[in-house]
Amino acid sequence: MTTCDALVIGEALIDITHGVEGTVAEHVGGSPANVALGLGRLGRSVALLTQLGDDPHGAQTRGHLEHSRVRVIGPRAARTSTATATIRPGGHATYDFDIAWDAFAPPTDIQARLVHTGSIAAFLQPGADSVLHTLANQPDDTIISLDPNIRPALTGDPETAVHRFAELSGIAHLVKLSDEDADFLYPCVPHDAVLDLLLSRGVRLAAITRGGEGAILASARARVTVPAVRVDVVDTIGAGDTFMVGLIDRYLHDDSLDGAALTALGAFAAGLASQTVSRAGADLPWKEDVRASDLPA
């Protein structure tokens, strides 16, 4: 049995980015893969259960993740998934997906302090049911974290997506949504009320990110708003994933969740995200970047 800080479950893919000046670049991406990569770069022991094809994109993805200290596991896929991102003026990205995500057996040789999932893998069948089964059958002391990172083109009809999110958030301890996620899942519901709903389900730490307006973090003990860090934005790819990395990393360090702890969590996560958006692609910070910044190591 291998023990580690985190097991991340979900898609790893190739982001094919079309820039505003007509440039085309390829980067390894996928929200769960980005979270695993970010945790590995911060020095956490992490495994990623994903599905890669036996093709050049699969080899590129595996090599990139392993270079960032991520152990890659999971069944072979028919092809490696891709997401084509088109960057609009101002750095906003829109996506077109080609995803393979099949059913899989839960790993039996890994014991993790925390299991994380989200995005396409948590909603796209047939693999989504395997994700839910794996999370629901973790030991009682395992921390479960979730970032839905909703992709409306892939999550099916909203009613089905809301039902699956309710199932997942009902067993999760950490949940982060973007404001777009919250508005898709619960249209016309104030964000504070969405946070209240999550806490009522037993979530210990709930967060909603709001882009340049910062983020709201809530626990049973406190609720705080943290500002975004002002930087020159190159693109927003991986920003939310980096914020999730910051929440996970700091929660594993301090799970007290009082007002001071929430403020520190949010500031650390926002600072990490600011480093990612100042670089092209999902180039998440390394521990050395944290040491060289004002963020606590």
Q: For 93-117, how does the pLDDT look when each residue is reduced to its tens digit (9 = 90+)?
A: 777 889 989 999 999 999 999 999 9
Q: Is the pLDDT of residue 296 over 70?
A: no
Q: Is the pLDDT of residue 90 over 80?
A: no
For the chain, the 3-state helix, strand and coil shares in percent, each to the nearest 5, are 35, 25, 40
* More confident call, 165 vs 19: 165
Model confidence at 294, pLDDT cuts 50, 70, 90, reads low
Count of CB atoms within 10 A of residue 260's CB?
12
The pLDDT of 176-192, averaged and rounded, is 97
Count of CB atoms within 10 A of residue 166's CB?
12
pLDDT of residue 235: 73
Question: Domain-by-domain residue ranges, the chain?
Answer: 2-283
The top-level CATH class assigned to 2-283 is alpha beta
Q: Is the pLDDT of residue 267 over 90?
A: yes
Q: Give the pair of three-digit tokens for residue 194.
A: 């969405």
pLDDT of residue 289: 82
pLDDT of residue 15: 83
**Residue pair 87/17 in contact by the 8 Å Cβ criterion:** yes
pTM: 0.92
Model confidence at 268, pLDDT cuts 50, 70, 90, reads very high
pLDDT of residue 295: 66
Q: Average pLDDT of the chain?
A: 92
The pLDDT of 68-81, averaged and rounded, is 96
Q: What is the DSSP letter of 211?
A: G
The pLDDT of 118-143, averaged and rounded, is 96
pLDDT of residue 297: 56
